[in-house]
Amino acid sequence: MRKPAYGVLALFPSADALLKAIPKVKARGYAQLEAYTPYPVHGLDAALGLPESKLGVLVFLMAAFGAVGVFAFEWWANAVNYPLLTGGKNAFTWPAWIPPTLEGSIFLGTFTAALAMLFIFNGLPFFGHPLLQTKTIDEITRDRFALLIVPSGAAFDEADAAAALRAAGGAAVETLPAPSHETPDAAWWTRTALAIAAACAVAGGATAFAIRVFPTVKPMVNMEVQPRLDAQEPDSFFANGRGMRLPPAGTVPRGGTPILAASLDAAGRELIDPLPVTEFVLERGRRQFDRHCAVCHDRLGTGRASLSSVYTAKPADLQSSTMRKIADGSLYWVISQGYNTMPAYAADVSPDDRWAIVRYIRALQRSQDAPERDLK
Amino acid sequence: MSAATTNHRGRALLAAAAVGAAGMAATYFLDGAARFWANWLLWFVILACLALGTLFLVALQHITGSLWSVPMRRVPERIAALTPWLVPVAAVALFSVPAVFSWTQPGADAVTPLVLKSAWLNYPFFILRLAACLALWMLSYHLLVRRSLRQDESKDPRVTVSLRRFAPAFMIILALTITVFAFDWVSSLEAAWYSDMFGVYLFAGAVTTAIAATTLGVIYQRRRGRLPGVTEDHLYNLGGLMFGFTIFWSYIAFSQYMLQWYANLPEEVFWFQQRTSGKMEGVFVLLMAGHFFVPFLGLMMRSDKKDWRRLRWISIWVLFMEFVDVFWLISPIAGKGLNLGWPEAAFALFFLSAGLLVVSRAMSRGPDMPVGDPFLEDGLKFHLR
A48 and chain B in contact, CB less than 8 A: no
Let me know if residue B28 belongs to a domain.
Answer: yes
Question: How distant is the Cα of B379 from the closest Cα of chain A, in angstroms?
Answer: 15
A69, HSE (Cβ side, Cα atoms, 13 Å): 13
Return d(Cα A328, Cα A127) in angstroms, integer.
86
Cβ contact (<8 Å) for A42 and B384? yes
A43: nearest CA partner in chain B: B385
Which chain B residue's Cα is nearest to A64? Answer: B297
Q: Please indicate if any CB of chain B lies within 8 Å of the CB of A49.
A: no
The CA-to-CA distance between both ends of chain B, in Å, stands at 34
* 3-class state of residue A298 by DSSP: coil
Nearest to B46 by CA among B363, B358, B347: B347
Q: Which of B256, B261, B268 to mutate to test the interface with A (most CBs of A within 10 A)?
A: B261
Angle at B377 between CA B376 and CA B378, to 5 degrees: 95
pLDDT in tens, B100-120: 888 988 888 888 888 888 899
B381–A contact, CB cutoff 8 A: no
Measure in Å the smallest separation between the Cα of B258 and chain A Cα atoms: 6
Q: Indicate if the alpha-carbon torsion angle A276, A280, A284, A290 is positive or negative.
A: positive
Output b/e per residue, A80-89; b: 16+ Cβ within 10 A: eeeeeeeeee
Residues spanned by the domain of B335: 11-380
The per-residue pLDDT for range B274-297, each reduced to its tens digit, is 899 888 888 999 999 999 999 999
Can you spell out the DSSP letters for A196-228? HHHHHHHHHHHHHHHHHHGGGS-S--TTTS-SS
Residue B2 domain-assigned (yes or no): no
Residues of B whose CB is below 8 A from A46:
385
**Rounded distance between C-alpha atoms, residue B90 and residue B100, angstroms:** 15
In one-letter notation, the amino acid at residue B49 is C
Of B261, B301, B383, the CB nearest to A95: B261
Which residues on A lie below 8 Å from B301 (Cβ)?
56
Cβ neighbours of A35 in B, within 8 Å = none
* Of the listed ranges A45-59, A206-220, A340-354, B22-36, the one predicted with least confidence: A206-220
> Measured between CB atoms, does B266 come within 8 Å of chain A?
no
- Sign, CA dihedral A47-A50-A55-A58, equals positive
Q: A109 contacts in B (CB within 8 Å)? A: none
Residues 105-164 of A with CB under 8 A from B: none
With residue A188 as reference, give the H or E element that holds it. Answer: helix A186-213
SS3 labels along chain B: CCHHHHHHHHHHHHHHHHHHHHHHHHHHHHHCHHHHHHHHHHHHHHHHHHHHHHHHHHHHHHHHCCCCCCCCCHHHHHHHHHHHHHHHHHHHHHHHHHHHCHHHCCCHHHCHHHHHCCCCCCHHHHHHHHHHHHHHHHHHHHHHHHHHHHHHHHCCHHHHHHHHHHHHHHHHHHHHHHHHHHHHHCHHHHCCCCCCCHHHHHHHHHHHHHHHHHHHHHHHHHHCCCCCCCCHHHHHHHHHHHHHHHHHHHHHHHHHHHHHHHHCCHHHHHHHHHHHCCCHHHHHHHHHHHHHHHHHHHCCCHHHHHCHHHHHHHHHHHHHHHHHHHHHHHHHHHHCCCCCCHHHHHHHHHHHHHHHHHHHHHHCCCCCCCCCCCCHHHHHCCCCC
How high is the pLDDT of residue B334? 57
The mean pLDDT of A342-351, rounded to a whole number, is 89
Mean of pLDDT values over A308-312: 72
**How confident is the model over B163-204, as pLDDT tens digits?**
999 999 999 999 999 999 999 999 999 888 989 999 999 999
The number of residues in chain B equals 385
Residue B365: pLDDT band with limits 50, 70, 90: confident
- Eight-state DSSP code of residue A278: -
- Does residue A296 contact residue A307 with C-beta atoms inside 8 Å? yes
Instruction: Say whether pLDDT at A316 is over 70.
Output: yes
Contacts of A43 in chain B (CB under 8 A): 383, 385
B254 to chain A, any CB pair closer than 8 A? The answer is yes
Q: Which amino acid is at A130?
A: P
The CA distance from B47 to B206, in Å, is 9
In chain A, the percentage of residues whose pLDDT exceeds 70 is 97
CB atoms within 10 A of CB B148: 20
Q: How far is A45 from chain B (nearest CA, A)?
A: 6
The ipTM (two decimal places) reads 0.84
Largest interatomic CA distance in chain B = 64
Does residue B199 fall inside a structural domain?
yes
Q: Would you tell me the crossing angle of helices B198-223 and B33-64 to the nearest 10 degrees?
A: 70
Q: Distance between CA atoms of B237 and B382, rounded to whole angstroms?
A: 11
Predicted confidence at residue A182, as pLDDT, reads 59
- DSSP class per residue in A40-77: --TTHHHHHTPPPPSHHHHHHHHHHHHHHHHHHHHHII
> Given an 8 Å threshold on Cβ–Cβ distance, is B257 in contact with A87?
no
What is the rounded distance in angstroms from the CA atom of residue A268 to the CA atom of residue A327? Answer: 5
Angstrom distance (rounded) from CA B192 to CA B108: 10
Decide if B114 is inside a domain: yes
Pick among B262, B284, B383 to test the A interface (most A CBs inside 10 A): B262
Cβ–Cβ contact B257 with A under 8 A: yes
pLDDT 10s digits, A118-172: 988 887 877 778 888 888 888 888 899 999 988 877 677 888 888 888 888 888 8
pLDDT in tens, A174-223: 888 887 665 677 888 899 999 999 999 999 999 998 888 777 777 777 77
**What's the rounded Cα separation, in Å, for the pair B170 and B59?**
7
Q: Which of A50, A57, A98 to probe by mutation at the B interface, max B CB count within 10 Å?
A: A98
What is the pLDDT at residue B1?
A: 44
Q: For A247-268, how does the pLDDT look when each residue is reduced to its tens digit (9 = 90+)?
A: 888 887 776 667 778 888 898 8
> What's the pLDDT tens digit per position in A25-64?
888 888 888 899 999 888 888 888 888 888 999 999 999 9
Mean pLDDT of chain B: 91
Q: Does A42 contact B383 at a Cβ distance shorter than 8 Å?
A: yes
Report yes or no on B5 lying in a domain: no
Residue B291 near residue B324, CB atoms below 8 Å: yes
Which residue in A46, A60, A95 is closest to B385 by CB distance? A46
DSSP state for residue A131 in the 8-state scheme: G
Domains identified in chain B, total number: 1
Rounded distance, CA B202 to CA A27, Å?
Answer: 56
pLDDT at residue A304 is higher than 90: no
Nearest-CA neighbor of B234 among B245, B221, B218?
B218
pLDDT at B333: 73
Choose the closest CB to B264 out of A52, A60, A87: A87
Say whether residue A201 is in contact with chain B using an 8 A CB cutoff: no
> What confidence score (pLDDT) does residue A256 get?
66
Q: What amino acid occupies position B12?
A: A
CB A30 within 8 A of CB A9: no
pLDDT value at A229 more than 70: yes
Burial class (CB in 10 A: 0-12, 13-18, 19+), A371: exposed
Q: Is residue B4 in a domain?
A: no
Contact status of A2 with chain B (Cβ, < 8 Å)? no
User: Is B195 part of a structural domain of the chain?
Assistant: yes
Question: Are A297 and A327 in contact, with CB atoms under 8 Å apart?
Answer: no
Residue B337 has pLDDT above 70, yes or no: no
Residue A1, pLDDT > 50, answer no
